[in-house]
Amino acid sequence: MSGIIGYGAYIPIYRIKSGDIAKVWGEDAERITGGLGIIEKAVGGVDEDTASIAVEAARNAILRAGIKPTELGAIYVGSESHPYAVKPTATIVAEAIGATPNLTAADLEFACKAGTAGLQMVLAMSEMKMIKYGMAIGADTAQGRPGDALEYSAASGGAAFIAGPTDESIAVMNDTFSFTTDTPDFWRRQGADYPSHGGRFTGKPAYFRHVIGATQGLLEKTGTKISDYDYVVFHQPNGKFPIEAGKKLGVPLEKLKAGLLTPVIGNTYSGASPLGLCAILDEAKAGQKILMTSFGSGAGSDSFSFTVTDRIESGRNRAMKTRDFIDRKKYIDYATYIKYRRKIKV
């Protein structure tokens, strides 16, 4: 089997509190914060987009892996906020980290699970020896229509993973399983500035059906139980859904805590469950097992089983840890937030 040989996170420094957004729209700040389980969210600066976030995460992954960028045979960037409709983010990342020209690269789109789709691809390519190393990135500068419920959660951040041979892995992939249907819970047409969503419809028939379906499918495929895993991370559209999914699957809250980041950085979309995995890898010990299940509207989930190896300590401190990015923050007001979200378009 193949596995993860390096990982890297990146979260912008700026934060806006959910309560400050609520005040602008005359909403009850405590009701909004409590209802979504989100205290504040990360906001990309005026000079930050999905490409720059992906580059920073990729550089951190390279540092931890201890390989040369030119050894990468593939780079896939998953996002629903690529800076260009026609021009790949992946080539920008490849050039910026010095990985060009001998590699394949592409952008992926499947709402919030585009990053984990890329991870499946590079793990499989490494396993088949099509490439030795491959990088998958999930990154977003998510946006919600002003005043919409999404505005309180849509955040910025990303994570990168490098797949490679088992004997070099810090976490070996035991197996993966996907659960996919055509469920139109969330969408954005070409040219539209903001996404639309089905409100309460996004819960039971979309998020919970797919996250639970993929997780149960993985458990059945691998012959494992929740009790076999030390850490569990689910996609996090808000602070409450992953906890509720955990209850339905019998996951103790203690196993979710390390990877539950949305309450303090918001929903980073394609970066959400990958960033949770990064936070877990920052503290996991050799021999421990990790279960990760993503979710992307439209709709589908990818579930993974990993076992941490004794190589985990070798590269862990070569790059900034996920919680360090979370603690490194500057608060901004709503006017500054709007300014930062209005990117200069080229």
Helix (H, G, I), strand (E, B) or coil at 56: helix
**Residue 155: CB partners within 8 Å, gap ≥ 6?**
41, 42, 43, 140, 142, 265, 266, 267, 268, 269
* Residue 280 CB neighbour total at 10 angstroms: 25
Catalytic residue among 48, 80, 151, 168: 80
Place of tokens 């603690």: 327
Cβ pair 105, 141 in contact under 8 A: no
- In the chain, the largest separation of any two C-alpha atoms, in whole Å, equals 57
**CATH class of the structural domain 171-308:** alpha beta
Catalytic residue among 40, 48, 82, 112: 112
280 phi/psi in degrees, rounded to 5: -70, -45
Q: What pLDDT, on a 0 to 100 scale, did the predictor assign at position 160?
A: 99
- What CA–CA distance (Å, rounded) separates 305 from 162? 16
Interval 263-305: pLDDT, tens: 999 999 999 999 999 999 999 999 999 999 999 998 999 999 9
Q: Which whole-number Å values give the CA distances from 46 to 12, 103, 330, 344, in the listed order?
A: 11, 31, 14, 8
Interval 8-21: pLDDT, tens: 999 999 999 999 99
CA nearest 42: which of 186, 141, 117?
141
> Beta 330-331 vs 14-17: how paired, if at all?
parallel
Give the sheet arrangement for strand 330-331, strand by strand: 40-43, 14-17, 330-331
* pTM of the predicted structure, to 2 decimals: 0.96
Instruction: Please say if 80 is a catalytic residue.
Output: yes
Instruction: Please say if 210 is a catalytic residue.
Output: no
Interval 91-109: pLDDT, tens: 999 999 999 999 999 999 9
- What CA–CA distance (Å, rounded) separates 179 from 299? 9
Catalytic residue among 82, 197, 210, 235: 235
Cis status, amide bond into 299, omega within 30 of 0:
yes
Q: What pLDDT, on a 0 to 100 scale, did the predictor assign at position 26?
A: 94
- What CA–CA distance (Å, rounded) separates 299 from 19? 30
Helix (H, G, I), strand (E, B) or coil at 168: helix
Instruction: Please say if 235 is a catalytic residue.
Output: yes
Q: Which residue has the higher pLDDT, 146 or 175?
A: 175
Confidence of residue 230 (pLDDT cuts 50, 70, 90): very high
Tell me which CATH code domain 2-167+315-341 carries.
Answer: 3.40.47.10
Task: Locate the domains of the chain by residue range.
Answer: 2-167+315-341, 171-308
Interval 43-62: pLDDT, tens: 999 999 999 999 999 999 99
